[in-house]
Amino acid sequence: MTAPVTAIGIDPGLASTGFAVVEMLDRRGRVRQWGTISTRPGPALAERLSSIYAHLSEILSRWHPRLMVVEDVYVLKAYPKAAIQLGAVRGVVLLAAEHHRIRVCEIKPTEVKSALTGNGRASKAHVGTMIRRILNFDGGRTSDHVSDAMALAVTGLSRSGLLRW
């Protein structure tokens, strides 16, 4: 019998970083831990980034995932400051992965949507419904950030070669 493979999906954001630790064996999976790492807008950027790093490091130390799947960057020209902040968050997320010696995979949102629904322009609601069905997840209401993180983890595992299908 093969051992389950664990991955963590990360939907980065300065105010709210969604995460989901997913364990897969063959075509069955379960969500081991999920949630958001939230920061308040008051403190300095460095303090907020440090908080994200610390919380994420605790999660990585607990679960020891073999793979971290991070949503690839997309930038809206109308919000250049948001893009810079997102880059800073992604930097601490990638640093945490490196410190914990975790392989990283970056996937575009359209790729995840296409993999799970067959449509790269699917709505967040459709992706959320599909990922709940795939993982047989009934953990109550979750944010879009958490659903996205679950979807990232599953898509990353399926593309990484870590699973035998």
Q: CB 38: neighbour CB atoms within 10 A?
A: 17
25-50 pLDDT, tens digit per residue, is 877 899 999 999 999 999 999 999 99
88-145 pLDDT, tens digit per residue, is 999 999 999 999 999 999 999 999 999 999 999 999 999 999 999 999 998 888 899 9
Identify whether 11 is a catalytic site residue: yes
Query: Which of 23, 55, 71, 148 does the annotation list as catalytic?
Result: 71
Identify whether 100 is a catalytic site residue: no
| pTM strictly above 0.75 | yes
Q: Could you tell me whether strands 67-71 and 5-11 are parallel, antiparallel, or unpaired per DSSP bridges? A: parallel
Tokens read off for 64:
């020891």
Cα torsion at 67, 102, 138, 117 (round to 10°)? -30
Q: Are 52 and 89 in contact (CB under 8 A)?
A: yes
Q: CB 36: neighbour CB atoms within 10 A?
A: 17
Query: Which of 23, 55, 145, 148 does the annotation list as catalytic?
Result: 145
118/95 Cα distance (integer angstroms): 32
Written as one string, the DSSP assignment of 17-65 is EEEEEEEEETTEEEEEEEEEEE--SSS-HHHHHHHHHHHHHHHHHHH--
Query: Which of 11, 23, 55, 148 does the annotation list as catalytic?
Result: 11
156/34 Cα distance (integer angstroms): 16
160/154 Cα distance (integer angstroms): 10
Identify whether 145 is a catalytic site residue: yes
Q: In the predicted model, is pLDDT for residue 164 greater than 70?
A: no
Locate all alpha helices (DSSP H) within the chain, ordered by sequence.
45-63, 80-99, 109-117, 124-135, 144-160
